[in-house]
Amino acid sequence: MTVESVKPAAPGGAQAPALREPPLAGGAVPLLGHGLKLVRDPLAFMSRLREHGDVVRLRLGPKTVYAVTTPALTGALALSPDFKIDGPLWESLEGLLGKEGVATANGPRHRRQRRTIQPAFRLDAIPAYGPIMEEEAHALTTRWRPGEIVDCTSESFRVAVRIAARCLLRGEYMDERAERLCNALAVVFQGMYRRMVVPLGPLYRLPLPANREFNRALADLHLLVDEIIAERRASGQKPDDLLTALLEAKDENGEPIGEQEIHDQVVAILTPGSETVASTIMWLLQVLAEHPEHADKIREEVESVTGGRPVAFEDVRKLRHTNNVVVEAMRLRPAVWILTRRAVTDTSLGDYRIPAGADIVYSPYAIQRDPHSYPEHLDFDPDRWLPERAKEVPKYAMSPFSVGNRKCPSDHFSMAQLTLITAAVATKYRFEQVPGSDDATRVGITLRPQRLLLRPVLR
């Protein structure tokens, strides 16, 4: 039994109230339950659930799922050993991530895999990636031409994949592979989201056009990873990088880890990581276009730090407003907007009973926009992350990289590249949306703009 599941005695020595069954959310329809609402307008649906309670029951097809709606309980959920990585989200991701990678593993396997990859993401290891991050960030500013339209989806994926590949896999995986990854992930993540919220298993195996497109995209992703591993083996090289660490890693018995685990680990490096970073870059570009006052402030900050030279990795820690713009963009438009866990024992969250085997879902998007936690919760306000104001934000109301033993190991790596890219592009350009651009939110496993087209204008 965990700390979260122990109920303190009531005042005066009386017994604590008995655990309750969470209320059922309204609006379920036959067969599909709440899945239809999650398909039609998932962000609004998840954001309204707190009105019904701290924990709410949902129906997804034939399954009952428990939705957690408060920061405190999402923190308890993430930190408690009574819950593991599993549930509708991870089941839908297994076709991409496999069952043997660090993203989906639990228990001793997960701990061993974390030990293998963690050295690549230690805080003192990040500066070694600085020159590559600088090169790729400034490559964006020189590749774009003033007045020409930038397709932010392809450009964001290109820089995200190149940085991940060059830093962590020491590979020269250029634009063609980034383009393949971008196109395949767009199809795969959308299909996985449908499978999560409307679990109609056998129907997804029928040879329907959408299913065939999904299967082709998934196959290309795995082929891409096989190409990367095969090229490294054929080269005979062993650079000090994450791929070498995986190829030389040992399992719990001291034997080399299997080929499937190596494959799944590289998938986890290249795909969810690139998808989430690329989505965040898209939203940051949208922010620079929508809020030119903050773009101007970023430029002024960069110039005050650099004295007019190109921004460098070593400047990142000094760019406080730029960093706050990144954090505020992630608050309002988190790439990962929905997460799931599974109860491994009969337990509780708050005053609510959670049975063993139950699936639990929560939405960082809803948590991070909750008016209970944030004044003017829908305003884009980077200054809310100034030290004197940030302390007012409730604990766990902003956890873009999660917490506990499932915290994303690449948090410092990701923040460094996001801040550097934002500083580099905002210093050189202003941005304007053009006809045909659509910055409405596209919902899949991750969030990104539907089709963001910008025109860079030299400052």
In this prediction, residues 146-164 reach a mean pLDDT of: 90
Residue 2 has pLDDT above 60, yes or no: no
pLDDT digits (tens, 9 = 90+) for 21-60: 999 998 888 888 888 888 889 999 999 999 999 999 999 8
* More confident site: 1 or 294: 294
CA distance 168 to 133: 12
Q: What is the pTM of this model?
A: 0.85
Give 92's pLDDT tier (boundaries 50, 70, 90): low
pLDDT at 29: 86
- What mean pLDDT do residues 198-204 have? 74
Q: Give me 150's structure tokens.
A: 């930038």
Q: Tell me whether residue 154 is exposed, middle or buried, using C-beta atoms within 10 angstroms of its C-beta: 0 to 12, 13 to 18, 19 or more.
A: middle
Share of the chain above pLDDT 90, in %: 51
Give the pLDDT score at 87.
64
pLDDT at res. 252: 78
**CA 36, 40, 43, 47 torsion-angle sign:** negative
User: Is pLDDT above 60 for 394?
Assistant: yes
CB atoms within 10 A of CB 441: 15
Quick one: pLDDT at residue 93?
63
Task: Identify the CA nearest to 65 among candidates 78, 75, 55, 54.
Answer: 55
- Which range (87-96, 149-158, 274-283, 432-441) has the least confidence? 87-96
CATH class in words for 3-458? mainly alpha
Q: Give the per-residue pLDDT at 90.
A: 59
Does the pLDDT value for residue 98 go beyond 80? no
Residue 421 has pLDDT above 90, yes or no: yes
Q: Which residues contact 189 (CB under 8 A, 6 or more apart)?
A: 275, 444, 445, 446
- At 264-309, the pLDDT tens digits run 888 877 777 788 999 999 999 999 999 999 999 999 999 999 999 9
pLDDT > 70 fraction of the chain, expressed in percent and rounded:
89
Mean pLDDT along residues 157-176: 77
Q: Flag the least confident range among 15-19, 61-65, 129-133, 294-298.
A: 15-19
- Which range of 183-187, 323-327, 333-337, 408-412 scores highest in mean pLDDT? It is 323-327
Write down the mean pLDDT value for the chain: 86
Each domain of the chain, given as residue ranges in start order, spans 3-458
Query: What is the tens place of the pLDDT at every residue in 249-265?
Result: 887 788 888 888 888 88
